[in-house]
Structure 1
Amino acid sequence: MKCELCGKEFQPSGHGRPQKYCSKSCRQKADYRRKKNRPRDRNGKPPVKAVETKQKPEQDLDQRSFERMMDGSMLDILRDNRDLLLKAMADPTTPANALPAISRQLIDVCERIEALQGGGLTDLLDDEEDEVTDDVGASIV
């Protein structure tokens, strides 16, 4: 095999990544030349390579997502906590002895969310009862 820098024949060691250079000094010289030939900015520094980010396509906001955007930060934190606790409860790898503590934390977080929202389950049940009483007078044809 030939060295990419000096052209000298060499026998590769056969371990690890295939060798391109005959010696450590040729590898260092090639590295130095690559760095030297890189384009520079106005300050003489090599340009910073831009990191590509994969962006998800925009989705229509549902009511919950919109409320999360508009809520204060405490509600956001509590909701994130609630979601993590729910995932931990449903995860089969969660140890059984951790479930009671997780469930207590989940109940506490849900109660705090309800307190901050100024409502909760009882308000939802009251709304459903109103709907049922409004429909009682309807006749079946």
Structure 2
Amino acid sequence: MALQIKKLFLLASGESTRQLGKAFEKALQNSGLKESPRGPRTLYSLRHTYITWQLLNGTSMYAIARQCGTSAAMIEQYYSHVKPEMRADALSGVTFDKQEPKALSKKTLNRRAKTAERDEKRFKEWVEEFKKRGCI
């Protein structure tokens, strides 16, 4: 019995594409998510975000490199800035004290709540669309 693999990213017609980057860009534009506080999002942003989150969660660079089909040296070269204390602790034996974050203003908290609400709504819409397409 052959395993049937369904693609996660499809066009609105349900067909796959070799130009996933362009389709992803169009989806970002249509959903209003193209721009981020750190610049425009791209398909490659997903890979960068994944690697960054894995490092912050304590996953080893070697495990991430294997998952991403690259070398640990590349991960270290491009992502060692994510947690500078990773290297400092290893080399100096000194651990850094955690700083307490300052309290956020009501305006900032309200803005973040609205953004989270908007993002949650979009996420639910995407889930429904992917279910409708048979991707999940």
Would the TM-score normalized by the shorter structure come out above 0.5? no
Larger Rg: 1
TM-score range, shorter chain: under 0.3
Structure of higher RCO (CA pairs closer than 8 Å, 6+ residues apart) = 2
Q: TM-score, normalised by structure 1?
A: 0.23
Q: TM-score, normalised by structure 2?
A: 0.23
